[in-house]
């Protein structure tokens, strides 16, 4: 004679279905699965309005007209439509000439090769380091700087 154990599946079917349903719902609502990351914006999207407007003109001769000031963070500059264009040189340049002091606060026109200086690479380390802002500039030794006959925008 054989001993067989007989299990009635019909009696366990509702419990099995309920357990399986709860398991599937728990898996579907699992918050430990990270959401799909959205793509980060491209570096071009992070540019300022000035960078978007003038970046394609870098290394070309351009003329800008704006308000002149000798008192910029990095030296003399021109403001045009909320854009700053510095007048910088890697060699000594004398801004003490009366020619430039009479231009203070007035509309000037600068014609020269537009350059761009980026300081985006910060040195590694735990302590932040101060650095100059990224900026457009003209070399005053090779550019023409003159009073504009039309008044600058306020």
Give yes or no for residue 62 having a pLDDT over 90. yes
Q: Are 49 and 84 in contact (CB under 8 A)?
A: no
pLDDT, mean of residues 54-83: 92
pLDDT, the chain, mean: 78
Nearest-10 Cα torsion for 49, 53, 55, 59: -140
Rounded to whole angstroms, how far apart are CA atoms 126 and 3? Answer: 74
Domains, the chain, ordered by start: 47-120+132-147 (2.40.50)
Rounded to whole angstroms, how far apart are CA atoms 14 and 97?
96
Average pLDDT over residues 9-17: 57
What per-residue confidence (pLDDT) applies to 23?
Answer: 55
How is residue 82 annotated by DSSP?
Answer: T
Confidence band for 47, pLDDT divided at 50, 70 and 90: confident
């Amino acid at each position: 004679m054989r001993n067989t154990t007989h299990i009635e599946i019909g009696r366990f079917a509702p419990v099995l279905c309920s357990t399986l349903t709860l398991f599937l719902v728990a898996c579907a609502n699992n918050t430990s699965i990270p959401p799909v990351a959205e793509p980060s914006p491209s570096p071009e999207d992070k540019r300022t309005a000035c960078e978007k407007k003038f970046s394609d003109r870098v290394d070309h001769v351009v003329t800008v007209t704006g308000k002149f000031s000798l008192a910029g963070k990095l030296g003399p500059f021109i403001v045009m439509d909320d854009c700053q264009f510095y007048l910088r040189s890697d060699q000594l340049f004398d801004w003490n000439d009366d020619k430039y002091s009479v231009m203070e606060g007035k509309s000037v026109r600068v014609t020269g090769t537009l350059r761009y200086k980026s300081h985006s690479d910060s040195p590694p380390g735990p302590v932040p380091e101060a650095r100059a802002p990224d900026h457009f500039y003209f070399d005053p030794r090779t550019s023409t700087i003159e009073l504009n006959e039309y008044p600058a925008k306020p």
